[in-house]
Structure 1
Amino acid sequence: MTAAPSPLRTVAGNLCLGSAPDSWGIWFPEDEHQVPYSRFLDELVQAGYTWLELGPYGYLPTRPEVLAEELAVRRLKVSGGTAFGALHRPEAWDGMLAHVRQVAALTAAAGAHHLVFIPPMYRDEKTGHFTETPELTAAQWAGFGRNADRLGKLLLDEYDIRLVLHPHADSHIQTQPEIERLLNESDSRYTNLCLDTGHVAYGGGDNLDLIRRFGERVGYVHIKQMDPDVLTQVAAEELSFGEAVKRGVCVTPPAGVPDPASVIAELSRLDAELFVIVEQDLYPCAPDVPLPIAVRTRTHLADCGLSATRRPNNR
């Protein structure tokens, strides 16, 4: 007699599970603490994943034909690309756009239709030193949503790629009021949300509330959990995100907040098909650390109803 399926297995059919280089401790195109891309791809397959996000541009091969071969021999597929850039600094637009175009071209060549756009951190990832003030000025806020839409329209028109903006710790889009302001000041045709459950929790936000009230703007998901004890240390000691990661702020489900099962249940009620990409920030970590974590994470999320093999129909 076979066991009855988890109730969530029947209601999460609109969600497709994948992973990303971040879950292997990859933050930079090149770094002495990171494993070679071939090992990441091999272990991704060993962990039971079919879908991956590209991660920092330059970590995986940037020549489309080389990337395609590396993926094909492992039967892997791409859910989206990843780009970083400042929408609040007009003088940085041209350089940012040149970078985004590189990522978009590679993403489109790989057959994917999402670009996860991450605003720059105002504290250095390695040293924790402040590089900008934590708050935007009124003038900077005035152009943020407009610039996001400008970029999103370009990506849609020229690459058939959807822009999903990713809230991030130590960035100007971190807290729930900041996320809501961005959504309220941008156009859903061109700018939508990459809901990163861990970064929302890091910024004191409520993932379930965001899904319920802004579900139509959720275009892509990063799923991760944060350790409440380390979050308390972040607030008490004013830690940088890099230091928080070193202290183990990102944890393997079901530990930490938010509860992944509750998030998956809420996402399953949306009238949209979504990639849900695992991200457990591990930089820096020993080479043998990520694979067992990736296996445990996929197994737990599968029990919550997330399939690592299906393909969403949305583009």
Structure 2
Amino acid sequence: MSRITAGNLCLGSAPDSWGVWFPADERQVHWTRFLDELAGAGYRWFELGPYGYLPTDPRQLAEEAGARGLQVSGGTTFGALHRPDSWADTVATARRVSELASAAGAHHLVFIPAMYRDEKTGAYTEDPQLTAEQWSSFGARANDLGRILLEEYDVRLVLHPHADSHIQTQPEIERYLNETDSRYANLCLDTGHVAYGGGDNLDLIRRFGERVGYVHIKQMDPDVLAQVAAEELSFGEAVKRGVCVEPPAGVPDPAEIVDALSALAAELFVIVEQDLYPCTAEVPLPIAMRTREYLAAQGVTGTARPRLG
């Protein structure tokens, strides 16, 4: 069902939708082109993406965003909460990104668990399953990190389930939520990655809606998902085969997601994040424009900043 407006949802996009996965890569568009096209496509909010891709000087970032009528919704980082020897680096990186996001007026850090397969080669780098001890460590460190970011930067930690990571399937997502404290660690519901892991987005929204603090909206091609299962493809290979598709194609149905999210009490950023790495420079803009128009027709706009509870 289309809505005139889903008043609690604020639309934005991310460098990922322009084929950006890394701070620097010869196959990615320059950050000025990303910001120019983002504004030209009608978006007003954006996520920072990989730290170092966009300017990391707060003054320069503010000037570049402001000149285009743009505002920052949140920052993004990877980290390995299950590895004790990575804790110091994980905290340091999260602090750096949160400091920049906070300086830009943003209050969310999208935290992506470390992947157990290499993003470019698909090679396994560690066991896909966490031990009971690692799970306990993961939850405790998510709480600790979330507390640090909230108290020092007024930034909320929202963990992003991700393909080829230890928080991918619905049971893993639910275990993460059960292992963590809602005061400090919540969920960035990435609708595409939930579908990739075989989960049910509508069920998660219905049962854990109070833990959804931020949203990445994307869809996956069921035919490519079948190839992933049959051939044990890495996420990087799946993206190359076009697993991420623009709405209204793919699963889950974005209109159903918008309807479910609009019934929540919370006000939320809904960030378009269609994985396109690698792609030619001319590909992202038309997709971004069509996607914004489709979601606007569902009532998702980018005209106001969500209030934090």
| Alignment map for 1:71-90 (pairs within 5 Å) | 71-90=65-84
Alpha carbons 1:49, 1:309 under 8 Å: kept = no
Aligned match for 1:64, one of 51, 58, 67: 58
SS at match of 1:115: strand
Alpha carbons 2:2, 2:255 under 8 Å: kept = no
Aligned match for 1:173, one of 158, 163, 167: 167
- TM-score normalized with structure 1 length: 0.97
Aligned match for 2:101, one of 84, 107, 115: 107
Query: By how many angstroms is 1:307 displaced?
Result: 0.5
Query: By how many angstroms is 1:138 displaced?
Result: 1.3
Alpha carbons 2:2, 2:297 under 8 Å: kept = no
Aligned match for 1:21, one of 1, 6, 15: 15
| Alignment map for 1:138-177 (pairs within 5 Å) | 138-177=132-171
Structure-2 separation of matches of 1:313 and 1:221:
15
Q: Does 1:8 align with 2:7?
A: no
Structure-1 separation of matches of 2:76 and 2:49:
5
Which residue pairs with 2:232 in the alignment?
A: 238
Counterpart residue type for residue 88 of structure 1: H
- TM-score normalized with structure 2 length: 0.99
Structure 1 residues 167-224: Cα deviation after superposition (integer angstroms, max 9, x where no partner):
0000000000000000011000000000000000000000000000000000000000
Structure 1 residues 100-119: Cα deviation after superposition (integer angstroms, max 9, x where no partner):
11101100000000000000
SS at match of 1:8: coil
- The alignment covers a number of residue pairs equal to 309
SS at match of 1:134: coil
Which residue pairs with 2:126 in the alignment?
A: 132
SS at match of 1:306: coil
Structure-2 separation of matches of 1:237 and 1:170:
14
Structure 1 residues 143-183: Cα deviation after superposition (integer angstroms, max 9, x where no partner):
11111000000000000000000000000000000000000
Identity %: 74
Which residue pairs with 1:305 in the alignment?
A: 299
Which residue pairs with 2:192 in the alignment?
A: 198
SS at match of 2:187: strand
SS at match of 2:93: helix
Structure-2 separation of matches of 1:205 and 1:92:
29
RMSD, aligned α-carbons: 0.8
Structure 1 residues 13-35: Cα deviation after superposition (integer angstroms, max 9, x where no partner):
00000000000000000000000
SS at match of 2:4: helix
After TM superposition, the structure 1 stretch with the greater mean CA deviation from structure 2, 93-102 or 265-274, is: 93-102
Q: What are structure 1's unaligned runs of at least 5 residues?
A: 1-5
| Alignment map for 1:163-312 (pairs within 5 Å) | 163-312=157-306
Q: What are structure 2's unaligned runs of at least 5 residues?
A: none
Runs of 4+ aligned structure 1 residues displaced above 3 Å come to none
Structure-2 separation of matches of 1:309 and 1:42:
18
Structure-2 separation of matches of 1:178 and 1:7:
32
